[in-house]
Amino acid sequence: MNESSSIPPLTNPTIPGISRETHQPDPPLGGLESDRQPIASLITAIEAALREPRRLLFQLTQPNQGRLACNLLFVSLLSAFIYGLVAGTFSGGGQLLAAPVKIAGGLLLTAVICLPSLYIFTCLSGSRARLGEVCGLLAAFLALMTILLIGFAPVAWVFSQSTGSVAAMGGLHLIFWFVATGFGLRLLERGLHHHGAQGGMMRIWTILFLLVALQMTTALRPLVGTAPTLLPVTKEFFLAHWMESFQ
C-alpha cells in the first residue's frame, strides 16, 4: 500500500522590511499638504528646488507664479555669474569680469531662444500648461541647473589654480555643465508631465537646447583662456572649435 504524502504549496518567502505593494503613481500637484506651502523667499525657492520639487512645481501653477518665476530666474543668473567668476580665475585679468557676464548672459539668451520651441512642443505633447507656466518651468530648470553648478564651483576652482591646460579645464566645465543640465531637465520633464505632457517631444527639445547652448559657448568664446578680442571675429561651429582646442 503506497502512502500519499502531502506536499505544501510553494510560497514566496516574506522578507522583513520589503513590501509587496505595487508602486503608486504620484498624486496630482497640490494633493499633498506640503505642496501648498507658499514659497516666499529666494532661500525657500532654492531649498524647494533641491528638496521639494513638487512644492515648487505646484506653486508655479498658482496665480502669483510670476513673482516666483522671476525669483528663480534671478537665482539662475546670480548662480551663473558666480560660477563664471570661478571660471574666470583660470586666466584672471579681464576674464574675471568677462567670463561671468558671458556665462550668465549666454544662459539667458539660450533660454530666450529656446522658449518658443519649448512652448510649441509642450502644446503638441498634449500639455495643459499655459505660456506663463511654461516660462516658470523653464526658470525652475535654469535655477536648479545653476545651483548645482555652484556646488561644483569649488572643485572647478581647485583645478583652475593647479593646471594650465585650457583643454582640460574646458572639458571639466563641460562635464559639470552636462551633469547639472541633466538634473535640470529631469525637473522640467516632471513638471510638464504633471501638466499632462505625453510622448517624446521633450527629447526633441532637449537636443535643441543642448545644441543652442553648446553653440553659444563658441559664439561667446573665450570662456576659458584668453583671446586678443572680447568676442570672436570669425564664425565657427562648436564641434570644429572643440577639435581645434583639444589638438
Domain ranges of the chain: 41-246
- How far apart are the C-alpha atoms of 149 and 75, rounded to whole Å? 12
Query: What letter represents residue 82's amino acid?
Result: I
- The secondary structure of 161-210, three-state, reads HHCCCHHHHHHHHHHHHHHHHHHHHHHHHHHHHHCCCCCCHHHHHHHHHH
8 band by pLDDT with thresholds 50, 70 and 90: low
Sign of CA dihedral 220, 226, 229, 232: negative
C-alpha cell at 152: 561644483
For the record, the C-alpha cell of 5 comes out as 504524502
Q: Which pLDDT does position 247 carry in this prediction?
A: 66
pLDDT for res 78: 97
Give the span between the Cα atoms of 58 and 15, in whole angstroms: 37
Residue 1 in this model has a pLDDT that exceeds 50: no
Q: Which residue is it, cell 500500500?
A: 1
Q: Give the pLDDT band (50/70/90) at residue 237.
A: confident
Say how many CA atoms lie within 13 Å of 178 toward its Cβ. 9
Could you tell me the pTM of the whole model? 0.86
Between 18 and 68, where is the model more confident?
68
Which amino acid, residue 138?
L
Mean pLDDT computed over every residue of the chain: 88
Q: In whole angstroms, give the CA distance from residue 122 to residue 67.
A: 22
Share of the chain above pLDDT 70, in %: 89
Residue 240 has pLDDT above 50, yes or no: yes
- Cis peptide preceding 222, ω within 30 of 0: yes
pLDDT value at position 17?
43
Three cell numbers written together for 55: 512644492
Q: Is the pLDDT of residue 54 over 90?
A: yes
Model confidence pLDDT, tens digit, residues 58-77: 999 998 889 999 999 999 99
- 8 Å CB contact between 76 and 95: no
